[in-house]
Amino acid sequence: MYEHERSLVKRLEGKPFALIGVNSDTDRDELKKVLVDKKLTWRSFWNGGSTGGPISRAWKVSGWPSIWVIDDKGVIRARDPQRNPRGPDMYTVVDQLGARWGA
């Protein structure tokens, strides 16, 4: 999964795009090692050590991983389970939004 995110971040470098991760890992120190090992360059938040943490409760996340595509106006354009924009499908959703700003 990280490979698709890494390539998307690289491809959209310099564009008005941000990828943000939320992690439910129980061991925060181990999570930090994984983020370095997997070369994640985007911001990643810790959800308190469980899938029932404060971020997932606030956003009503029901499954992991969940991907939400939010436009520059804060409108949710795609999210699980309405649409599963993982891997190459995520490129399509983001590219459709990016057409507005010439990505």
* CA distance linking residue 79 with residue 64, whole number of Å: 12
Q: At CA 22, angle to CA 21 and CA 26, rounded to 5?
A: 135
4 contact partners, CB below 8 Å, separation of at least 6: 86, 87, 88, 90, 91
What per-residue confidence (pLDDT) applies to 65?
A: 75
DSSP 69: E
What per-residue confidence (pLDDT) applies to 33?
A: 94
* CA distance linking residue 54 with residue 22, whole number of Å: 11
What is the CATH code for 2-101? 3.40.30.10
Q: What is the pLDDT of residues 22-47, one digit of tens each?
A: 999 999 999 999 999 988 989 889 99
Q: What is the pLDDT of residues 53-87, one digit of tens each?
A: 999 999 888 777 777 777 778 887 777 655 556 66
pTM: 0.71
Domain ranges for the chain, please list them.
Answer: 2-101
Given a cut of 60, whether residue 16 has pLDDT beyond it is yes
